[in-house]
Amino acid sequence: MTLDDLFKQHDLRLTKPRQQVFDALQKSDVPLTISDIAKKCNDINRTSVYRALVTFNDLKIINVVHVGWKNYYELAEPFIPHHHHLYCIRCQNATPIQTPELEQLINYLSRKYSFLVIDHHFELEGVCQKCRQEQQLTKSISASKNKPKPESKSTK
């Protein structure tokens, strides 16, 4: 089903702002904040971005991912393949991950407990390799600055 078909099915119009927000999300490899989307859609105002996201959420076109105090938005299935994320709490970078093992575990648990899983969300928060390396570098520099200087021997 296309985006246009989905809107027609719900008696809605696919307006230019909605199409621009969809395009911004579709072109991104990572989930975006509202600010990110607004920057990519500079032809439309921020209110139109909010309205488009509300409509997309109602139609289940997007997933809203909560990380800390921020919301990130990305397209949902069938517009992108199902996946999960690793979120860095320092740089706020989101890394999409494919996890067939997790999907197998969910299917197993569904069968074991006779539970019909309709949806699930799995996001891991932590510190990415780049931020850990930067932290190590900062610690090394700080440690070398705080080392006592060797006393110089002066001759009288």
What would the pLDDT profile of 77-110 be if each residue is shown by its tens digit?
A: 888 888 888 989 888 888 888 888 999 999 999 9
pTM of this structure: 0.73
Q: Final residue of a domain: which of 27, 56, 80? A: 80
Q: Which amino acid is at 3?
A: L
Work out how many domains the chain is built from and give that number. 2
Residues 51 and 96 in one domain: no
Average pLDDT over residues 104-130: 92
| Cα–Cα distance, 51 to 37 (Å, whole number) | 12
Q: Provide the residue range defining the domain that includes 101.
A: 82-143
Residue 125, helix vs strand vs coil: strand
Q: pLDDT tens, 5-49?
A: 999 999 999 999 999 999 999 999 889 999 999 999 988 999 999
75-78, Cβ contacts within 8 angstroms, sequence gap of 24 or more = 75/22, 75/25, 75/26, 78/1
The angle formed by the CA atoms of residues 38, 40 and 44, to the nearest 5 degrees, is 55
Please indicate, yes or no, if residue 149 is contained in any of the structural domains. Answer: no
